Each structure stands twice: as C-alpha cells, then as structure tokens.
C-alpha cells in the first residue's frame, strides 16, 4: 500500500519523527562514531506486536527504521530510544555486510552500546 511505503505519513507524527531523527544522529555519533548513514525514521500506527523494524531498501526505496507509535505512547521516550538503538544495530549490520540477525555480532554490539542483547515484542 502507499501508506506502508511511507508515501502517506500521518501529520500528527511529524514532531515525534523529527525528535527521532535527531536522536538517530546523537546515537550514531555516540555509539557508531557517526558511521551510519542518515536514513528515514518513521512511526507506524499499524505495528501491534513489533516495537520496531529496520527495513532494507525494497521496491526502489531507501532503508528506513520504523517504530511503533503505540510503543512510544505506552512506554515513553527512554524505551523508544532503546528500540531505535536496537534497530540501528541492524542498520550497522546491513551497512557493514553482516547478516541481519540477533546472532553473536548483534549481541556483542548491543552489549557495547548498553542495551539488552535480545529481540523484544510488545507484551
């Protein structure tokens, strides 16, 4: 659908997306020495179980990170920042040619940046 590909955004998300984009920059500098590309960070009203997702380029698009709006609303900015950082590790994996998984390299990097080295879902 057009909305899924990010062509139609909820205007109410704009201030949150701006803050998430700034947070991506800060976390990139702090934990990845600024090496990650600047990518689109979006919110989804449709994500129910998943807290966030790193999406590789598909259908000619660009990679993006999508966070659950429900997660941000329910769990707050601190939890959303941890989820963003989790997805940024997947971005790092992708940009450095590592497999996109929660294997040894993911767990090592998660510990290095100070987040739990596991996948989480909304409970």
Task: Please name the residue ranges forming H helices in 1-123.
Answer: 14-32, 69-95, 104-113
pTM of the model: 0.88
Q: How confident is the model at residue 10 (pLDDT cuts 50, 70, 90)?
A: confident
Report whether 64 contacts 42 (CB < 8 A).
yes
What distance in Å separates the CA atoms of residue 110 and residue 31, rounded to the nearest whole number?
10
What pLDDT is recorded for position 4? Answer: 44
3-class DSSP state of 99: coil
Average pLDDT over residues 11-21: 92
Average pLDDT over residues 96-111: 95
Cα–chain-centroid distance for residue 35?
16
pLDDT tens per residue, range 36-75: 999 999 999 999 889 999 999 876 789 999 999 999 999 9
Checking if the pLDDT of 31 tops 50, the result is: yes
Q: How confident is the model at residue 120 (pLDDT cuts 50, 70, 90)?
A: low
What pLDDT is recorded for position 118? Answer: 75
């Amino acid at each position: 659908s057009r909305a899924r590909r990010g062509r139609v955004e909820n205007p109410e998300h704009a201030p949150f997306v701006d803050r998430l984009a700034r947070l991506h920059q800060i976390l990139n500098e702090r934990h990845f020495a600024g090496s990650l590309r600047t990518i689109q960070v979006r919110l989804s009203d449709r994500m129910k179980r998943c807290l966030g997702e790193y999406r590789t380029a598909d259908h000619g698009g660009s990679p993006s990170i999508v966070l659950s709006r429900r997660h941000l609303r329910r769990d707050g900015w601190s939890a959303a920042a941890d989820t963003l950082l989790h997805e940024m590790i997947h971005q790092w994996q992708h940009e450095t040619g590592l497999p996109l998984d929660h294997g040894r390299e993911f767990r090592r990097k998660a510990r290095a940046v100070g987040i739990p080295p596991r996948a989480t879902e909304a409970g």
